[in-house]
Structure 1
Amino acid sequence: MADIVITEFMDEAAVARLAHTHDTLYDSGLADDLAALHDHLAAARVLIVRNRTQVDETLLSMGPRLKVVGRLGVGLDNIDVVACKARSIKVIPATGANNLSVAEYVITAALMLLRGAWMGSSEVADGHWPRQSMMGRELAGKTMALVGFGEIAQEVAWRAHMMGMQIVAYDPYLAADHPGWQIARNVSLDAALELGDVVSLHTPLTEATRHMINATTLSSMKSDAVLINAARGGIVDETALAAALAARRLGGAALDVFEIEPLSAEAGARFKGLANTILTPHIAGVTGESNRRVSELIADKVLEVLGGRA
């Protein structure tokens, strides 16, 4: 029986390092096969997941020998941390390993949404030449509003600042003397939404942040502002956002995360035909480079706990 069970995709070099010293089962289909996962967890000491595997009481009860849950990412909303703590199971996220990938995603999305021209390839291919309607806007001189100002948001802030943007941020939990405030003005949530030409979300999903962006808060944003959510699904009321985009009360949106993932065709239908809208499948933090960094970090931490560092 496997000592380490990996239920979602991981860099193969990191998997090989784990398998060199410990019996390792790597099957990215296990996230969707609870029955098979149950059989494999009986003897496992380590479970490594991404965001699809729900590490709840039911799953934890299947692994009586579990010592470690490794998260190939940073969000922990799919892991019952309290239940893990009660069972003395160490939860290890890959903190910091995908910050750069998410920051680049946000900056790229902001450029695409403001400029707009890259969204019209099919129109040009059809023989049209819409130069005036594709004129778009520049990033420089605009205001980047960051809702949440943790490590990833700070990476976004430095890049936006270097591109000539003004930075405002809302984060009631970040100390007033934190170095990040050197380039960002500390404002309220209302002010961030009202001032932002680009509003990027960087908060965890909690009861307090669920549907933080809703019909009311969307109405307080500039009518040509763009919204980017590469944080967590559920922070945005997707129905309200789609309505605002359809009514042209918002300049555009990029969503990498959704309330229900994978996004179903039925749920996605509300965004069909909406101009200046980018939908991606929870991929902001996943590049070839970040996958290697995340995987290596988790492999290192798991081997530290189990022994047999390779």
Structure 2
Amino acid sequence: MKILYDDNMPFAEQCFSLLGDAMPFSAGDINLEVLGSADALMVRSTTKVTAELLAQAPELQLVATATAGFDHFDLAALQAAQVPYYVSAGCNAIAVAEYVLSGIFAYAEKRQLNLADLRKLRIGVVGAGNVGSALESKLRALLFDYCLCDPPLAESSDTREFVDLDTVLGCDIICLHVPLIEDGKHPTRHLLGANQIQQLNANQLVINACRGGVIDESAFLTQAEIRKMPVLILDAWENEPAINRAMLPHCLFATPHIAGHTLEGKARGTFMSYGALCNHMGRDEEISMNQVLPSLPVVDWRSEGKCDESLIGAAIFSLYDIRQDDRIFRQAMAQSSDVGRTFTQLRKNYAQRREFAAQTIVLNEYSADDPIRQQLQGLGFDTLCTE
């Protein structure tokens, strides 16, 4: 089995070398001679799997992407070439949900809102798939008031309660977690278009951590010339990487499409792809993600002397603080003469971050059954209480 894998897939060598002759490649620089004899191709979103690429790889038995999205796959070409494919759906769901929580808590700090104040706000989650469900779980753990909007799932056997988009547009915080769908019964291109944007007001927060194009940025800017608009947290932008810098002044926080870029999120994509290849080959998996992930130092908060709600925000920011990424992004954009290149470089060179579950927090003994500890655990943190 000859396996080609993207050298930006963490732990790929450890995984794929167990299954055969594994060789790395850099995105955009696949050795065509090697590709011609490859049995499996493991990619990330920076490699476009097109009819032209497939024509150079007659031996391919499987193509897998270590990403949740698959816009880079020409599905018709894969079908025509009779090459099975695998998508690591949900690999970055936890990472994106934690990005959103960091944004919400940073928004609360800007507005001088405490956790009790946040619970008075209604959060609308548009898209209740992998990411939306991960966010729902964390919102529920924090006792937040939220609603879900997902027309395709509402028409399915999903038993959760769903609301329509107009209901979400009346929420205090609107979180977008949908794929970019151009047509069909439920398209999401410009889901927040001119008509929807006109229904929004200056007291709202809109978070787009899914795909650029879900918000009609031109319509937003047109309305912004007329009246005050909601503040935005944008991680996904139209026309990436050549984004419109005119949107930046309307962003409370802005980042270069890195919401899902945790070590766990990327590693999970690698291991899901590895599992797919094992399944294709009829082999058992010989290595797991937990075996290779580095551990974090334990955080000892016993000196805090209490376990109150301020620890929730502190715990979130200790693992991911959106404000830091926002500062780096704004500074880079302000100095850039080539927005597209800068955006791409920021993504490529993004500093590694970890998910909440990687962190163990030591708390005081009397907080063993405290609601705050339960909320920290609901967010994913490992908590210990000492005697």
What TM bracket, shorter-length normalisation?
0.7 to 0.9
Kindly indicate whether residue 315 of structure 2 is the aligned counterpart of residue 301 of structure 1.
no
Q: 1:70 aligns with which of 60, 64, 73?
A: 64
Is the 1:113–1:252 Cα contact (8 Å) retained in structure 2?
no
Letter in 2 for 1:135: Q
Q: Distance in 1 between matches of 2:28 and 2:192?
A: 30
Q: Secondary structure at the match of 2:167?
A: helix
> What TM-score do the two structures reach when normalised by structure 2?
0.65
Residue deviations 1:140-170 (CA, integer Å, cap 9, x gap): 1111111122132122122223323222222
1:26 is aligned to: 24
Q: Distance in 2 between matches of 1:38 and 1:169?
A: 46
> What TM-score do the two structures reach when normalised by structure 1?
0.80
In structure 2, do the counterparts of structure 1 residues 6 and 238 end up closer, same or farther at CA, with 3 Å as the change threshold? farther
Kindly indicate whether residue 137 of structure 2 is the aligned counterpart of residue 158 of structure 1.
yes
Letter in 2 for 1:6: Y
2:361 is aligned to: none
Deviation, structure 1 residue 21: 3.3
Q: How does 1:31-70 map to 2 (within 5 A)?
A: 31-33=27-29, 36-70=30-64
1:190 is aligned to: 166
Letter in 1 for 2:254: L
Q: Distance in 2 between matches of 1:245 and 1:111?
A: 25
In structure 2, do the counterparts of structure 1 residues 43 and 148 end up closer, same or farther at CA, with 3 Å as the change threshold? same
1:251 is aligned to: 230
Kindly indicate whether residue 239 of structure 2 is the aligned counterpart of residue 287 of structure 1.
no
In structure 2, do the counterparts of structure 1 residues 253 and 90 end up closer, same or farther at CA, with 3 Å as the change threshold? same
| Structure 1: runs of 5+ lacking an equivalent | 117-133
Kindly indicate whether residue 208 of structure 2 is the aligned counterpart of residue 229 of structure 1.
yes
Q: How does 1:99-248 map to 2 (within 5 A)?
A: 99-116=93-110, 135-136=112-113, 138-175=117-154, 178-181=158-161, 186-193=162-169, 195-207=170-182, 208-242=187-221
Is the 2:96–2:260 Cα contact (8 Å) retained in structure 1?
yes
Q: Distance in 1 between matches of 2:195 and 2:228?
A: 12
Is the 1:224–1:249 Cα contact (8 Å) retained in structure 2?
no
Deviation, structure 1 residue 277: 2.8
Is the 1:145–1:196 Cα contact (8 Å) retained in structure 2?
yes
In structure 2, do the counterparts of structure 1 residues 246 and 41 end up closer, same or farther at CA, with 3 Å as the change threshold? farther
Residue deviations 1:29-76 (CA, integer Å, cap 9, x gap): 3x233xx44343211121112222221222222212112111112212
Is the 2:41–2:63 Cα contact (8 Å) retained in structure 1?
yes
2:9 is aligned to: 10
In structure 2, do the counterparts of structure 1 residues 241 and 85 end up closer, same or farther at CA, with 3 Å as the change threshold? same
| Structure 2: runs of 5+ lacking an equivalent | 287-387
Is the 1:139–1:165 Cα contact (8 Å) retained in structure 2?
yes
Q: How does 1:256-267 map to 2 (within 5 A)?
A: 256-261=235-240, 263-264=241-242, 267=243
Deviation, structure 1 residue 248: 6.4
Deviation, structure 1 residue 17: 2.3
Q: Distance in 2 between matches of 1:205 and 1:222?
A: 25
In structure 2, do the counterparts of structure 1 residues 142 and 246 end up closer, same or farther at CA, with 3 Å as the change threshold? farther
1:126 is aligned to: none
In structure 2, do the counterparts of structure 1 residues 45 and 244 end up closer, same or farther at CA, with 3 Å as the change threshold? farther
In structure 2, do the counterparts of structure 1 residues 42 and 260 end up closer, same or farther at CA, with 3 Å as the change threshold? farther
Aligned length: 278
Letter in 2 for 1:86: A
Residue deviations 1:217-276 (CA, integer Å, cap 9, x gap): 112123221111121222122333455567663332122223333x23xx342134x154
Kindly indicate whether residue 89 of structure 2 is the aligned counterpart of residue 95 of structure 1.
yes
In structure 2, do the counterparts of structure 1 residues 246 and 155 end up closer, same or farther at CA, with 3 Å as the change threshold? farther
Residue deviations 1:119-155 (CA, integer Å, cap 9, x gap): xxxxxxxxxxxxxxx5357421111111122132122
Is the 2:97–2:134 Cα contact (8 Å) retained in structure 1?
yes
Is the 1:196–1:221 Cα contact (8 Å) retained in structure 2?
no
In structure 2, do the counterparts of structure 1 residues 225 and 82 end up closer, same or farther at CA, with 3 Å as the change threshold? same
In structure 2, do the counterparts of structure 1 residues 248 and 78 end up closer, same or farther at CA, with 3 Å as the change threshold? farther
Is the 1:5–1:26 Cα contact (8 Å) retained in structure 2?
yes
